[in-house]
Structure 1
Amino acid sequence: MPWVDESGRHEGFPAAVLADGSEPAPLPDGRSAWWLYNGADGPRAVAVRGGCGCGWRGERLHLLDFGDDEATEGVGESTGPFADWEAHVDLAEGIVPREVEELLAALVDRVCDLTDTHPYAAARAAARFERAAGSTALLVGRTVRTNLLTWEYIGRAFGCTPEQALDRFGETLQDGDPLGDHGDL
């Protein structure tokens, strides 16, 4: 059964990997589920990797156990083809990883709790959080300098246009930067 993300745009699966590192062609009847490549009716898979209907394939190879589908697929585990596919979807969709969302929510809840009993501590914590958030400009600049993201993706992440993202974060790029034109808008 394939894995489908919340948006419905990504359908993931464990992709079979042969000994030479390639992915086997579908069987004559069109089926291609990893467990079919057990050597009985065609090539034998030696590992699996995360795969997605959008064409993405994970780099990491994972052990497979023809007798244990759950262990091979790793659904809900922190490592395995499913975890790799989830990371792909997060990056492709610009989604914040679940554990980061949970940390941010816990921080907001804790600061709100402090307002009732220790309002000055809550204000200090909020000020520290605001200063820490200011470092996002440095992180954004680094992603552009190292060609990890374009201004289009940065704008999408911050809910603005590429031009607005450049206006907001562009000054963090230093003179002599290989992306002196500030990357692709």
Structure 2
Amino acid sequence: MDRVLKTLGAAHEGSVGVRLADGSEPGPVYFDVGSGSHMPSSTQWHVYDGRFGRPRATVLRGSCSCGWRGMAEYPLDWTTLPKDKPLYEAGIDLSGPIADHEAHLSVIRAAAVQLPAELIDLFTDLVRRLNGLTAQEPLVALKALADLRYIVAQAGEEATNEITAMEVPIEQVAAALGTSEAAARSYLSSYLNF
């Protein structure tokens, strides 16, 4: 997938976040694997189990790479959780934080610009035809994609210039694309540097 499209999508990657007893959100946990310059780390919810000097999570919550954190908190009852086993083996119900992130994504999608039905139909037909060509005539498919790349670059440059001329705020561009401001800036500049 294109680097810019990955960046747009990565702006809202969800995870199960944690908070500590003092209300803070901990940084990554580093794992000492012996000598060497690389020290692996993780921010996965289950590494905050208090073992081996690690911080101990008191609550779980929805989390997103855009900075959003769920308001709902799901307490961890350490009186019933094993203290000598990894937290991921405890059978903890993660459905609450995951559902909260899904709700967050629904809000993001609802705020994004909706494509007209005719354009969605056109894209659907284009994908179907390109898939057929890829299997039957891959050289024709490759040529069509090369032409399409040029069309996309040209239209993207013109749209970016219009957005710049109209002085559309980056917050509005990010909301329309359903991404972060940083990803939206990167996306716009990619059309100017194509």
What range is the shorter-chain TM-score in? 0.3 to 0.5
TM-score (norm 2): 0.39
